[in-house]
């Protein structure tokens, strides 16, 4: 075995499967036996494009084994810790799982003279690899620690692993950095060698930047909502066309992926952005540095679902007893991940307002939202059926399936009222008094040049 991966969540499983498909021998260890059995049978425990095929191939070729005993990691040269680092009550990242895995690993590796690297791939704040994980491993002269943060996005995790913008390896010993970097050699991408804390801070910074761009866009959206004739999408489009954001190369304008974060919506969610932003705020406080920009980004995001539900209430003249269909439950399109999802928060708020809520999400199963069903939410597996009796519908993800909604939404009676929480729909296809979108004044057509689209 070359590589051991500890923890088979999004990060661990994708890391293990992708390393196996690059030709390495991988042992992936998962403590949750049910999850381990599922993976062993070739089924990933979550939806991720391309993962199932690669997993089955790696298992069939014998390049990937799934274990549940950390003692087996003795065979590994490079051992990746990919366990969860959930948000603690004070906003910091909880390192209990990381420390528990490192302690166990320390017991296994103690006294063995072979050179190995223990790599922290979980997201952590600066100092964790050297000051928390290193000591938990115990004194192992032949064991070095490195930080190698994962930058994958759910929904494109395999592609992100296989074609990373850069691989970051933070370490103190060059032989250890080399061992980690060598694993990525088949990818032929730049490997940035740095200090462990720099790698850790870079990961937190990356997510804090994305979160801040989203909240920045939603802040501008809130201002735009007060100005008749203004639509934040038009405003942000003007900003996007700045050549510093959309460079012109060989006469062609390039639209970089970062611009998708300069867009208004119902706020960011998922297992990373909210948690990592809070962690960086907490870390800043711990070193005595106020982080007002980051705090503002968090506050703006926390309030965004409430704003949408308030807008839905104004549009419908009160939500009590209304049939509301929520389109999208996952935190974004293309994933079934419900963690910190604005869609879930919106459902909770609608239920609290007395609405009768039906939800539709092409990737989310009824079982995954059982607690909300117990509170009265209905889940539909058919988009048309979900909308058939709705008084109002709220769009919370940019799912391609929702794009043609104006067709099905504009029945003889005008169809349900619409709150576009993601700026997916073309406002010009809807009657002004039946449609509200984030960042758009309710009477937005007034004051615009005739015939111009929003």
272 given a catalytic annotation: yes
Region binding ligand NAD by CB under 6 A among candidate stretches 10-18, 287-295, 392-400, 416-424:
10-18
Phi, psi values for residue 176, rounded to 5° = -70, -45
Minimal distance, residue 4 CB to ligand NAD, in Å: 10
The closest residue (CB) to ligand NAD is 9
**Measured distance CA(52)–CA(250) in Å, rounded:** 39
- 119 sits near ligand NAD (criterion: CB under 6 A): no
**Measured distance CA(188)–CA(388) in Å, rounded:** 51
Applying the rule CB under 6 A, the residues between 143 and 162 that interact with ligand NAD are 150, 152, 154
Region binding ligand NAD by CB under 6 A among candidate stretches 28-36, 71-79, 130-138, 384-392:
28-36
**Measured distance CA(5)–CA(365) in Å, rounded:** 28
Cα 5 to its chain centre, rounded Å, is 21
SS (H, E, C) 386-401: HHHCCCEEEECCCCHH
CA neighbor of 119 nearest in space, from 95, 159, 74, 149: 149
- 379 sits near ligand NAD (criterion: CB under 6 A): no
Q: How many of the other CB atoms lie within 10 Å of CB of 374?
A: 8
Region binding ligand NAD by CB under 6 A among candidate stretches 83-91, 396-404, 412-420, 443-451:
83-91
Q: Please pick, from the candidates 84, 206, 316, 397, the single residue that binds ligand NAD as defined by CB under 6 A.
A: 84
Minimal distance, residue 240 CB to ligand NAD, in Å: 26
Q: Please pick, from the candidates 24, 35, 116, 298, the single residue that binds ligand NAD as defined by CB under 6 A.
A: 35
Among residues 82 and 180, whose Cβ is nearest to ligand NAD? Answer: 82
- 29 sits near ligand NAD (criterion: CB under 6 A): yes
Q: What is the DSSP string of 231-269?
A: BHHHHHHHHHTSTTTS-EETTEE---GGGGGSS-SS---
- 85 sits near ligand NAD (criterion: CB under 6 A): yes
- 101 sits near ligand NAD (criterion: CB under 6 A): yes
- 36 sits near ligand NAD (criterion: CB under 6 A): no
| Tokens 């804390």 belong to residue | 197
- 315 sits near ligand NAD (criterion: CB under 6 A): no
- Write out the E strands in 241-369: 248-249, 252-253, 323-327, 356-360
CA neighbor of 178 nearest in space, from 117, 112, 106, 114: 117
Minimal distance, residue 104 CB to ligand NAD, in Å: 6
Minimal distance, residue 30 CB to ligand NAD, in Å: 5
Minimal distance, residue 41 CB to ligand NAD, in Å: 16
Q: Please pick, from the candidates 7, 67, 328, 362, the single residue that binds ligand NAD as defined by CB under 6 A.
A: 7
Q: What is the DSSP string of 176-228?
A: HHHHHHHHHGGG---EEEE-HHHHHHHHHHHHHHHHHHHHHHHHHHHHHTTST
- 10 sits near ligand NAD (criterion: CB under 6 A): yes
CA neighbor of 369 nearest in space, from 274, 360, 353: 360
Minimal distance, residue 43 CB to ligand NAD, in Å: 14
Minimal distance, residue 94 CB to ligand NAD, in Å: 10
How do strand 417-420 and strand 392-395 relate by DSSP bridges?
Answer: parallel
- 97 sits near ligand NAD (criterion: CB under 6 A): yes
- 8 sits near ligand NAD (criterion: CB under 6 A): yes
> Looking at 8, 82, 272, 393, which residue is catalytic?
272
Minimal distance, residue 150 CB to ligand NAD, in Å: 4
Q: Please pick, from the candidates 143, 176, 272, 346, the single residue that binds ligand NAD as defined by CB under 6 A.
A: 272
Contact (Cβ atoms closer than 8 angstroms) between residue 324 and residue 355 = yes
Rg of the Cα atoms in the chain: 24
Structure tokens at 353: 């307002």
Region binding ligand NAD by CB under 6 A among candidate stretches 9-17, 192-200, 246-254, 352-360:
9-17
| Tokens 């799912």 belong to residue | 399
- 278 sits near ligand NAD (criterion: CB under 6 A): no
Residues that bind ligand NAD (CB under 6 A): 6-12, 29-32, 35, 70, 82-85, 97, 100-101, 122-123, 150, 152, 154, 271-272
Give the active site residues: 272
């Amino acid at each position: 075995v070359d590589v051991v991966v500890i923890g088979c969540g999004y990060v661990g499983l994708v890391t293990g499967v992708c390393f196996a498909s690059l030709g390495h021998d991988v042992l992936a260890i998962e403590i949750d036996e049910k999850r381990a059995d599922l993976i062993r049978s070739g089924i990933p425990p979550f939806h991720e494009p391309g993962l199932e095929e690669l997993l089955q191939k790696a298992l069939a070729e014998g390049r990937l084994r799934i274990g549940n005993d950390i003692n087996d990691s003795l065979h590994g040269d490079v051992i990746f810790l990919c366990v969860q680092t959930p948000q603690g009550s004070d906003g910091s990242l909880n390192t209990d799982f990381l420390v528990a895995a490192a302690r166990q690993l320390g017991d296994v590796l103690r006294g063995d003279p072979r050179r190995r690297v223990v790599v922290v791939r979980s997201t952590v704040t600066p100092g964790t690899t050297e000051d928390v994980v290193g000591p938990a491993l115990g004194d192992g002269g032949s064991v070095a620690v490195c930080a190698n943060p994962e930058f994958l996005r759910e929904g494109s995790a395999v592609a992100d692993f296989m074609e990373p913008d850069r691989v970051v390896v933070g370490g103190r010993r060059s032989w250890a950095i080399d061992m980690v970097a060598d694993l990525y050699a088949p990818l032929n991408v730049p490997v940035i060698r740095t200090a462990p804390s720099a790698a850790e801070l870079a990961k937190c910074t990356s997510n804090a930047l994305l979160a801040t761009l989203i909240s920045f866009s939603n802040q501008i959206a809130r201002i735009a909502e007060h100005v008749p004739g203004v639509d934040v999408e038009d405003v942000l489009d003007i900003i996007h066309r700045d050549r510093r954001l959309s460079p012109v190369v060989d006469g062609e304008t390039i639209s970089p992926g970062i611009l998708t974060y300069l867009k208004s919506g119902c706020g960011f969610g998922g297992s990373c952005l909210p948690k990592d932003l809070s962690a960086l705020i907490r870390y800043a406080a711990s070193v005595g540095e106020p982080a007002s920009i980051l705090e503002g980004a968090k506050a703006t995001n926390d309030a965004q679902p409430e704003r949408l539900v308030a807008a839905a209430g104004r549009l419908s003249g009160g939500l009590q007893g209304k049939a509301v269909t929520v389109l999208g439950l996952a935190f974004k399109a293309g994933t079934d991940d419900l963690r910190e999802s604005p869609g879930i928060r919106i459902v909770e708020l609608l239920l609290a307002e007395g609405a009768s809520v039906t939800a539709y999400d092409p990737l989310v199963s009824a079982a995954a939202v059982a607690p909300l069903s117990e509170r009265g939410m209905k889940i539909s597996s058919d988009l048309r059926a979900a909308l058939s009796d709705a008084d109002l519908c709220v769009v919370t993800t940019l799912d391609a399936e929702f794009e043609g909604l104006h067709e099905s939404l504009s029945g003889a009676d005008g169809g349900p009222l619409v709150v576009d929480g993601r700026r997916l729909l073309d406002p010009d296809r809807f009657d002004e008094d039946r449609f509200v979108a984030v960042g758009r004044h309710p009477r937005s057509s007034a004051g615009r040049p005739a015939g111009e689209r929003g």
